């Protein structure tokens, strides 16, 4: 998995590409740290180019949400498709994280 952050005032747009699996846990931790440190109130994860997510990936997204929430930052998942969208739906992540089309 790779990511790119684009910060515009109150909004940080993070584009994820590739596959988000357990092997990316160090990288995702670094991303969470960046999201915690930047000034934007809304942290948006663009998942349009994310091909796959495993159960560890779901766990990491929940950790990100928890840590951002502790700093009163909004965490949003956007444009999920394919397997990613199916897993998010089945896991009912929408109950915990704002999911946008």
Partner 1 sequence: MVFAWSRRKAETVGHGQMLVPVRCEPEVVRDAEPPTIDYQLLGQWIGFADLQRHTMEVLRSEIERTSELVEDSTLDLSRRFRELAETAREQSHRVDEIVAMARFVEIDGIKVPLDELVTNMQQIIGEMIANIVNLSKKAMSMVYLLDDVQKDVTELEKSITDIDGINRQTNFLALNATIEASRAGEAGRTFAVVANEVRTLSKTTSALAQRMRDKITAVVKGVRQGHDILRTIANTDMSPQMLAKERVDKTMDSLVDQTNHFQTVLEGTAASSDELSTVIGRMVTGMQFQDLTKQRLEHVADSMTVMSGGLEDLVARTRAAIPDHIEIPFPQEWIDQLLGRYTLTEMRQRFVRRLLLEGTALDEHGILDVSTEPTQSSGGDVELF
30, 38 in Cβ contact below 8 A?
Answer: no
| Residue that is written with structure tokens 């495993």 in the block | 54
Residues 25-64 that bind partner 1 (CB under 8 A): 25-26, 29, 53-56, 58-60, 62-63
76 versus 96: smaller Cβ distance to partner 1: 96
The 8-class DSSP code of residue 67 comes to: H
7 versus 52: smaller Cβ distance to partner 1: 52
Q: Which residues lie near partner 1 (CB under 8 A)?
A: 21-23, 25-26, 29, 53-56, 58-60, 62-63, 83, 86-87, 90-93
């Amino acid at each position: 998995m790779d990511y790119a952050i684009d910060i515009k005032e109150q909004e940080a747009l993070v584009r994820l590409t590739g596959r988000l699996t357990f092997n990316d846990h160090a990288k995702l931790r670094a991303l969470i740290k960046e999201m915690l440190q930047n000034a934007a109130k809304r942290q948006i994860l663009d998942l349009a180019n994310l091909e796959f997510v495993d159960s560890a990936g779901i766990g990491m997204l929940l950790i990100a949400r928890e840590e951002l929430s502790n700093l009163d930052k909004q965490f949003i998942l956007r444009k999920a498709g394919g397997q990613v969208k199916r897993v998010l739906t089945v896991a009912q992540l929408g109950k915990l994280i704002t999911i946008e089309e």
